[in-house]
Amino acid sequence: MDYINVSANAKINIALDVLGKRPDGYHDLRSVMQTIDLKDNIYIRKIFTPKIKIVSNVRFLPTDERNLCHKACKALFDKYNPDFGVYIEIDKNIPVSAGLGGGSADCAATLIGVKELLKFPVSYNELLDIGKTLGADVPFCMEKGTMLAEGIGDRLTRLTDHPPVYILLAKPNVSVSTAKVFSNLVIEDIKRRPDMEAVISAINRKDLKAIAENLSNVLETVTIKEYPMIEHIKRRMTELGALSALMSGSGPTVFGYFENKENAWEALKQIKSEFRLREIFVSGIS
C-alpha cells in the first residue's frame, strides 16, 4: 500500500464548563463532545525521501512545522526514524479557527493514517498518548462519537450514542483565538454553568428535546461580548425552528438542532443570506 485516505470529523461541544485554571496555565474542563458528519479528507502517500511535505486547498493554512499534521508526523518519525517520508494533502471542509476542532481532527487522522501506511509498531494507546502531547482535543478526535471529556480535555469517558439530529452550523466571517478566549475568561463571573448530569441523562434516554434544553457553553460569556453576531445567529436559528442553538468550543461557530431536514435547509438559506455568511452547513451526528 503506497497511500491511504483518512477522514477527519469535526466536533461540537454539547455542553462545556471551565472549572478553573491549573498551575501549568491550562484550564480544567468538563465537556460533552460529539463528532459530526462534516469532515476534512486527508490523503497520505509514502515517498522515498525522509521528509514531510504538506499541501492544502486552503491557501492561508500553514503547511510547515506549525501545522498539526506536520507535528504528528514528526512525533512518529522521531520515534521510529524511517528512511522514507510522507506527502500529505489536506482537503479542508471544516472551517478554520471555528470552534469545531478541525486542526485536532486533521492531526488525529494523520496519526492514524501514518501509523497504518508506514506500519509503525505503535499501539493505539501509545498513539493516544502521542496525541495528548499535540493537543487536548486530539485524543477525542481519534476516538470519535459521544464522550465526556475532563481534565484539559484529555480524560475521556464514552457515553451512549447521541440520537440522530440535523445540525445547522453557521460560522460568522471572523476567526477566534482559543488562547485569547481562555485568557479573557473570568471564572468568578460565570453565572450559569452546564448541568452535565442532565445532559448525560438525556443522552442516555435518547431524549433529543431534553438534550437541546440543556445545551450550554460558559465560553459564550467571552466570545459573544466580542462578536455579538453569535447571539443574533443563535436567536435567528431558534426563530427558524431550531430546538436550541449554541456556540461550539471557543467559537465563533453556532450550531442549531433541527428535527426536520427541510427546516434545517430552509434555515440555512435564510441565515446565509441575512448574515452574509461564507461557511454554513447542514450536518448530522457521526
Same domain, 118 and 200: no
> How many C-alpha atoms does 264 have within 13 Å on its Cβ side?
21
Q: Judging by DSSP bridges, how do beta strands 27-47 and 52-56 pair with one another?
A: unpaired
The predicted model gives 222-244 an average pLDDT of 97
Distance between CA atoms of 138 and 8, rounded to whole angstroms?
11
β-pair partners for 157 = 148
Same domain, 79 and 104: yes
What secondary structure does DSSP assign to 32-80, as a single string?
A: EEEEEEEEEEEEEEEESSS-EEEEESSTTS--STTSHHHHHHHHHHHHH
Whole-number pLDDT of residue 4: 97
Same domain, 132 and 214: no
Asked if 3 and 117 touch (Cβ cutoff 8 Å), the reply is yes
Same domain, 52 and 131: yes
Same domain, 9 and 149: yes
Domain endpoint, select from 128, 158, 188: 158
In total, how many domains does the chain have? Answer: 2
Q: What grid cell was written down for 126?
A: 501509545
User: How would you class 108 by CB atoms within 10 Å of its CB: exposed for 0-12, middle for 13-18, buried for 19 or more?
Assistant: buried
pLDDT tens across 66-116, in order? 999 999 999 999 999 998 899 999 999 999 999 999 999 999 999 999 999
Same domain, 12 and 132: yes
Q: Is 11 a catalytic residue?
A: yes
Asked if 142 and 131 touch (Cβ cutoff 8 Å), the reply is yes
Q: What grid cell was written down for 253?
A: 461557530
CATH number of the CATH domain containing 208 = 3.30.70.890
Q: What grid cell was written down for 38?
A: 462534516
Same domain, 195 and 151: no
Instruction: Please state the φ and ψ torsions of residue 109, each to the nearest 5 degrees.
Output: -65, -35
β-pair partners for 167 = 257, 283
Selected catalytic residue, list 137, 154, 171, 234: 137
Least confident of 8-17, 190-199, 235-244: 190-199
Q: Is 207 a catalytic residue?
A: no
Same domain, 138 and 202: no
Domain extent for 205: 166-284
Domain endpoint, select from 158, 192, 207: 158
Mean pLDDT for all residues in the chain:
95
> How many C-alpha atoms does 125 have within 13 Å on its Cβ side?
0
Collapsed DSSP state (helix, strand, coil) of residue 240: coil
Same domain, 112 and 252: no
Selected catalytic residue, list 11, 92, 115, 171: 11
* pTM, two decimal places: 0.94
Same domain, 197 and 154: no
Domain endpoint, select from 126, 158, 190: 158
